[in-house]
Every structure is written in C-alpha cells, then in structure tokens.
Amino acid sequence: MSSHTSIEDEKYSKGDLGKSPQDLTEDVPNIGHPIVNTATTPPALITEIDKGLIAWESQDDPENPLKWPARKRRINLTLISLITFISPLGSSIFAPGIGYTLADLHESSQAVGSLMITIFLLGYSIGPLFLAPLSEMYGRWPVIVGACWFFNAFLLGCSFAQNMPGLIIMRFLAGTGGSAVMAIAPAIVADMYPVERRSFAMAIVLVVQSVSPAAGPIAGGFIAQQLSWRWTYWILLIFSAFITTLITFFMHECYGPAILERKTRRLRKELNRPELRSKMALPVTKWGLLKRSLYRPMKLLTHSPVVILFSLYVACIYGMLYLCLTTVSLIFTDQYGFSIEITGLIYISFAVGMVISLGFLMNTQDKSVAKQRVLNNGVFEPEMRLKNLIYIVAWVGPALIVYGWTAQYHVHWIVPTIALTFFGFGMVGIFMGTQTYVVDSFSAYAASAVAAVTCVRSGVGTFLPFAGPPLFTKLGVGWGNTVLGLIAIMLTPMVLIFRRYGKTIRTRYPVDL
C-alpha cells in the first residue's frame, strides 16, 4: 500500500494539484475541511495525467461505484445484506437456550447467563472503532472479508467451549469480528448510491440488521430444545461461512479512494511513472495515516454534537430493545405459561413491526427528499431525512407502557404482543432516520461516523439488560416498562430538534477529520 492512501486537500498546494484547496473541496465535499458541504452528487474528480494526478476518466467512468451498472451494485447490496442478517443473530439466537447452556456448563448464576448473551455486544462496541477506519484506509473488501472469517472462527470456538469463561471470551471475540459489517454496511450504501437514491438501499440493509436480533430467538428456542445449545452455533456457522465465502469471491471493492489507489499503482508500473498519485491520496506516512484514521471515530464522539446526541438517543432505544429481548421469554413463560419454543414465536411481533416500518420508509423517504430538494433550489441537506419521522418514532414510549401493564395484569397475550409490534415499528424509525442522517452528514467518512454511533449503542446494549431483573423485581413489569417508556418519550423530541436546528448545529460545530 502506498503512503498516499486517503483524502485530503488541506496539505496540497495549488502547484501540486493544479487547484487551490478551496477548488478541490468544491469537487469533493466533506474532505479535509469542516463537514458543512450539503451539495448532492458532486462532480467526480477527473484524471490529469499530464500533472501526474490519477482519478476517474470521466464523469460517467464505470469504475466509479456511483456509476456502476445496477447489477454490480445489487451483488454488493445483496451480499452485505445477507451477512448483516447473520452477524446480529450471534447476539440473540442463543437467548432462549440460556438455561440449557448454564446447566451444561455447570453455572448457576443468571447474571452470568445474561453476560454470556450481552458480551457479544461489547465486541460490537469495540470492533467498529478500529475496523471502520481501517476500511477507509485499505478499502471495504479486505476488512469485511478478514473480519467475517474472524467471526466464523470464534463461532466455531463457542460451539466447543467447555466452561463459561471460555464461552464468554469466545463470544466477545466473535462479536468483535461480526461488528465490521454492522458499521461498514451503511458506508457501502453511501459508496454506491447518491443521496437521492440512498434511502431505499439503506432500508434494505437496515431491515435485515433490525429484524435479525428479533428473529434469532424464534429459531433459537426450537434448536436449543430439540437439538442442543451447541447446535445453534453450528447452524449459524454453516450459514455464515457460506455467505462469507460468497463475499470473498464475488463482492466488489466499492470505496472510491481504495479503487483509485489501486489504479494509481497499476499505472505507475504500466507507464513507468513513479511520481503518479491519486487525487484522493493523503501526503502522509502510513503510520500518520493509521493514527489519524483510528482516532477519527473518537474525534466524532467527542467533537460532533450530531454524533454525540444521536449516539445517546440510539443507544437508549437499543438498550431497551435488548432489555426486552432478554426479558420477554421470562415474562411469557412465567406469567402466561408458554413453553420456550412458543415463547420464541413472540419475537415475531418485533420483526413484523420492523418490516412494516422499513417498508413505509422505503416507499416514502426518497420521494420526500426529492420534493424537499425542489423547494430548496435543488440542494440536499441531511435534515431532509428527518421530516415526518416523528410520526414513527413516537410509538416507542407508549408501546413499552402498554406492553408492561397488559403483561402485569395478564391481559390476553395478544395485547402485549401487539404492543411489541408497535415498539419494533418505532424503534426501526429511530435507527433508520438517525443512521441515514449521520451517513449523509459525514459521507466521506461514513464508516467512522457509523462506528461512533455503533460504539455507544452496543456499549449500552451490553450492560443495560443487567438492570432488567432488579428493575422489574423492584417496580414490577408495569412500572418498570413505564420508566423505560417515559425515558423514550422524553427523548422523542430530539428528532424535531435536529429537523429544525440540525444544520445550524452542524455548521456551528464542524469537525476537521
């Protein structure tokens, strides 16, 4: 890999590029300057071979991922969607079999059982902090492939674990490997689709990410009871290894700077011109670039109000999701007398709500953005993604309250199940809206931005479920879920605040990445 491997104009002189830094920033938004540019689908950088600068051959260069034929984009989108469905299954598919695992490994503590499930999310929290920026150095393909095989290796290790500490460590490492696709998948969508077409593709990725944690326990309950808890790992590994093999051989690199760097290295050899460099290259050493890249997600988490506030918002809702996932089985087995297998079917309600929500967003968001752009003289702004989102996210709090009280008073099981459907409906609106907003706001470094949000989200998801048993023991199912519901209701206006003041916040507190 050359030492010139990323994007920056601030260190180039006019003589270096034939353009001033300001000119270059007009061509490529969000690069090396505070991220305030809101232009849509900017002109592509063009090769200037006489000046030794390599970029795309034309505005419609088929090597540019934004200009790929539909079939090529669909291959990447399909593969990345499949693996983003498999990876989160590792967090939840084993939840119904906690009891069997504890008994087999001679562990009696329920707290340890909960840690065994949620430790996977701690890997989700830590992994993106270095895997996402590495994908902005070396490209999406090598990081995705390497991380997925790492994920598979430790899934295999989980299946043969002989004690609980070993299983917990294996699950943490599996989660670390599986986290790459969760952080990088939205960035891959941004690599291939312009903003005016991004919502539909982003929804496809997010629907599988969101449905997967809810779908896992449906299968996990049957597998654990009919076969064994180890078979849940083996079955998941079979599917994961198959999809990873397809990714290894058929996924196309889609990160523009990585593609241009490879092109530059090829032309240096073919033309015998060692001075050639990519227009998207940083004039820094590999070590300097590595430090800068790895620091980027933490810089966003500490300097960008957009990332900080949305990370906390999503983290709270995500924590509530996993709190529900780990307590639903207890509530429906203890209070409704369901078997483990039948209780697993309750999780379908989450999935139904999520699919309905994403179907609605897929069919409305791009159209809404197009209309708003016309009214805004053709200029896109990320805040356009948040219009009307309040009507979806507002369901989260009330749904939790209804779920809690109907379960406590043993109202017919269909009522709390429907409440969980509305919880899933609103929750996905939060994930979809905020994640797309962050990607649009930091498009050049979308993977790092998503990694920052994922770090906080998964960290809260790891430890909040431990509050479930004492919360519900102290307050009961009704008041316990009411507390969660009221927190969700208090956070809901954040969507309106960013819809109204997001642009002001972004421009007042820019981040130099």
| Local confidence band at 89 (pLDDT 50, 70, 90 cut-offs) | confident
| Local confidence band at 74 (pLDDT 50, 70, 90 cut-offs) | very high
3-state secondary structure of 306: helix
Inter-residue contact 481 to 404 (CB < 8 Å): yes
Half-sphere exposure of 384 (CA within 13 A, CB side): 26
Q: Say how far apart CA 293 and CA 448 lie, in whole Å.
A: 8
Higher per-residue confidence, 86 vs 227: 86
Chain centre to alpha carbon of residue 482: 28
CATH topology of domain 293-512: Growth Hormone; Chain: A; (1.20.1250)
DSSP per-residue letters across 377-441 = TT---GGGGGTTTHHHHTTHHHHHHHHHHHHHTT--THHHHHHHHHHHHHHHHHHHHHHHHHHHH
Q: What is the mean pLDDT of the chain?
A: 80
Residues above pLDDT 70, as percent of the chain: 88
pLDDT number for residue 177? 94
Q: Say how far apart CA 447 and CA 449 lie, in whole Å.
A: 5
3-state secondary structure of 203: helix
pLDDT number for residue 475? 84
Q: What is the pLDDT of residues 493-507, one digit of tens each?
A: 888 888 888 888 888
| Local confidence band at 175 (pLDDT 50, 70, 90 cut-offs) | very high
Average pLDDT over residues 270-294: 76
pLDDT surpassing 50 at residue 26: no
pLDDT number for residue 24? 33
Higher per-residue confidence, 18 vs 307: 307
Q: Say how far apart CA 213 and CA 87 lie, in whole Å.
A: 9
Q: What is the pLDDT of residues 337-391, one digit of tens each?
A: 887 667 777 878 887 888 888 878 877 777 888 888 888 888 888 888 888 888 8
Q: Say how far apart CA 479 and CA 483 lie, in whole Å.
A: 6
pLDDT surpassing 70 at residue 37: no
Inter-residue contact 223 to 235 (CB < 8 Å): yes
Inter-residue contact 483 to 323 (CB < 8 Å): no
pLDDT surpassing 80 at residue 221: no
What are the structural domain ranges in the chain?
57-278, 293-512
The structure's pTM equals 0.76
Inter-residue contact 90 to 441 (CB < 8 Å): no
Q: Say how far apart CA 421 and CA 443 lie, in whole Å.
A: 32
Taking alpha carbons only, the member of 202, 277, 290 closest to residue 47 is 277
Inter-residue contact 346 to 458 (CB < 8 Å): no
| Local confidence band at 513 (pLDDT 50, 70, 90 cut-offs) | low
Q: Say how far apart CA 244 and CA 241 lie, in whole Å.
A: 5
Please give the single-letter amino acid code of residue 304: S
Higher per-residue confidence, 244 vs 323: 244
pLDDT surpassing 70 at residue 10: no
Inter-residue contact 305 to 141 (CB < 8 Å): no
Superfamily of segment(s) 57-278: MFS general substrate transporter like domains (1.20.1250.20)
- Cβ-count burial 13-44 (b if 16+ within 10 Å, e if not): eeeebebebeebbebbbbbbbebeebeeebeb
**Beta strands in 197-315, from DSSP E residues, in sequence order:** 277-278
- What's the CA angle centered on 323, arms 398 and 481, to 5 degrees? 35
Q: Say how far apart CA 374 and CA 156 lie, in whole Å.
A: 52
Q: What is the DSSP letter of 139?
A: -
DSSP per-residue letters across 472-492 = HHHHHHHHHHHHHHHHHHHHT
pLDDT number for residue 91? 78
pLDDT surpassing 80 at residue 469: no
Inter-residue contact 175 to 168 (CB < 8 Å): no
CB within 8 Å of 487: residues ≥ 6 apart: 316, 397
Taking alpha carbons only, the member of 134, 156, 159, 157 closest to residue 145 is 134
Q: Say how far apart CA 76 and CA 254 lie, in whole Å.
A: 9
- Residue 54 belongs to what H/E stretch? strand 53-54
